[in-house]
Chain A
Amino acid sequence: MRVDLVVVGASWGGLHAVSTLLRGLPADFDAAVAVAQHRGVQAPDLLVGSLQAATALPVQEAEDKDPIEPGRVYLAPADYHLLVAPTGFELSVDERVQHARPSIDVLFESAAEVYRERVLGVLLTGANSDGTAGLARIRAEGGTTLVQHPATAASRRMPEAAIAAGVADAVVALDDLARALAEVCRTGRRLAPRGAA
Chain B
Amino acid sequence: MADGPDGSLELAARPRDAELEALEVELLLEAIYRRYSFDFREYAVGSLRRRLWRRVQEEGLETISALQDRVLHDPSAMDRLLRDLSVNVTSMFRDPTFYRSFRDNVVPHLRTYPFIRIWNAGCSTGEETYSVAIVLHEAGLLERVRLYGTDVNARVVQRARAGTLPGERLESYDEAYRQAGGTAGLLDYFDTDRDGCTLRPELARNIVFAQHNLVSDRSFNEFHVVMCRNVMIYFGRTLQDRVHSLLHESLANFGVLALGRKESIRFTRHERCYEDLDGREKLYRKVC
Q: Do A and B come from one complex?
A: yes
Q: A129: nearest residue on chain B (CB-CB)?
A: B5
Whether A134 contacts B18 in the complex (CB less than 8 A), given A65-B240, A85-B44, A98-B2, comes out as no
Q: Contact check: which of B14, B46, B263 meets A83 at CB < 8 Å? A: B46
Is the CB–CB distance between A85 and B262 below 8 Å?
no
Which among A64, A97, A116, A129 has the greatest number of chain B C-beta atoms within 10 A? A64
Query: Which residues 56-96 of A have a CB within 8 angstroms of B?
Result: 61-65, 77, 80-81, 83-87, 90-95
Task: Give me 11 A-to-B residue pairs in the complex whose CB atoms sit less than 8 angstroms apart, sorted by A's number.
Answer: A62-B262, A63-B263, A64-B262, A65-B240, A81-B47, A109-B1, A132-B9, A134-B2, A136-B9, A136-B12, A140-B15
Which among A61, A93, A129, A165 has the greatest number of chain B C-beta atoms within 10 A? A93
Whether A85 contacts B46 in the complex (CB less than 8 A), given A63-B262, A133-B9, A140-B12, comes out as yes
A109-139 toward B: CB 8 Å interface, digit per residue (1/0)? Answer: 1100110100000000000010011101101
Residues of B within 8 A of A165 (CB): 9
Measured as residues with beta carbon below 8 angstroms from the partner, the interface class of chain B is: 20 to 34
B87 CB to closest chain A CB, in angstroms?
Answer: 5
Residues of A within 8 A of B14 (CB): 140
Whether A97 contacts B47 in the complex (CB less than 8 A), given A92-B233, A133-B8, comes out as no
Residues of B within 8 A of A93 (CB): 87, 89, 230, 233
Whether A106 contacts B87 in the complex (CB less than 8 A), given A92-B47, A133-B12, comes out as no
Query: Which residues 1-25 of B have a CB within 8 angstroms of A?
Result: 1-3, 5, 8-9, 12-16, 18
Verify if B65 is at the interface (C-beta below 8 Å from A): no
Q: B264: nearest residue on chain A (CB-CB)?
A: A63
Whether A97 contacts B262 in the complex (CB less than 8 A), given A84-B46, A132-B9, A136-B13, comes out as no
Is the CB–CB distance between B2 and A87 below 8 Å?
no
Q: A142: nearest residue on chain B (CB-CB)?
A: B15
- With A and B bound together, what is the CA distance between A114 and B230 in angstroms? 24
Is the CB–CB distance between B16 and A113 below 8 Å?
yes
Residues of B within 8 A of A84 (CB): 46
Q: B15: nearest residue on chain A (CB-CB)?
A: A140
Verify if B117 is at the interface (C-beta below 8 Å from A): no
Verify if A141 is at the interface (C-beta below 8 Å from B): yes
Q: B3: nearest residue on chain A (CB-CB)?
A: A97
Query: Which residues 257-279 of B have a CB within 8 angstroms of A?
Result: 260-264, 267
Is the CB–CB distance between B237 and A109 below 8 Å?
no
Verify if B50 is at the interface (C-beta below 8 Å from A): yes
Verify if A105 is at the interface (C-beta below 8 Å from B): yes
Residues of A within 8 A of B89 (CB): 93-95
Measured as residues with beta carbon below 8 angstroms from the partner, the interface class of chain A is: 35 or more
Verify if A144 is at the interface (C-beta below 8 Å from B): no
Dominant secondary structure of chain A at its interface with chain B: mixed
Whether A139 contacts B13 in the complex (CB less than 8 A), given A83-B46, A91-B233, comes out as yes
B residues with a Cβ closer than 8 A to A are 1-3, 5, 8-9, 12-16, 18, 44-47, 49-51, 87, 89, 230, 232-234, 236-237, 240, 260-264, 267
Q: Contact check: which of A61, A77, A90, A109 meets B2 at CB < 8 Å? A: A109
Q: Contact check: which of B3, B13, B47, B264 meets A140 at CB < 8 Å? A: B13
Q: A88: nearest residue on chain B (CB-CB)?
A: B237
Verify if A148 is at the interface (C-beta below 8 Å from B): no
- With A and B bound together, what is the CA distance between A129 and B13 in angstroms? 16
Q: Contact check: which of A61, A87, A94, A116 meets B47 at CB < 8 Å? A: A94
Whether A92 contacts B46 in the complex (CB less than 8 A), given A109-B1, A140-B14, comes out as yes
- With A and B bound together, what is the CA distance between A40 and B217 in angstroms? 37
Is the CB–CB distance between A137 and B12 below 8 Å?
yes
- With A and B bound together, what is the CA distance between A62 and B267 in angstroms? 14
Verify if A103 is at the interface (C-beta below 8 Å from B): yes
Residues of B within 8 A of A113 (CB): 16, 18, 49
Is the CB–CB distance between B44 and A61 below 8 Å?
no
Residues of A within 8 A of B261 (CB): 77
Residues of A within 8 A of B234 (CB): 92
| A-B pairs, 6 with minimum CB distance | A83-B46, A105-B2, A133-B2, A92-B47, A90-B46, A136-B12
Whether A64 contacts B263 in the complex (CB less than 8 A), given A93-B89, A137-B12, comes out as yes
Residues of B within 8 A of A65 (CB): 237, 240, 267
- With A and B bound together, what is the CA distance between A184 and B156 in angstroms? 48
Residues of A within 8 A of B233 (CB): 64, 90-93
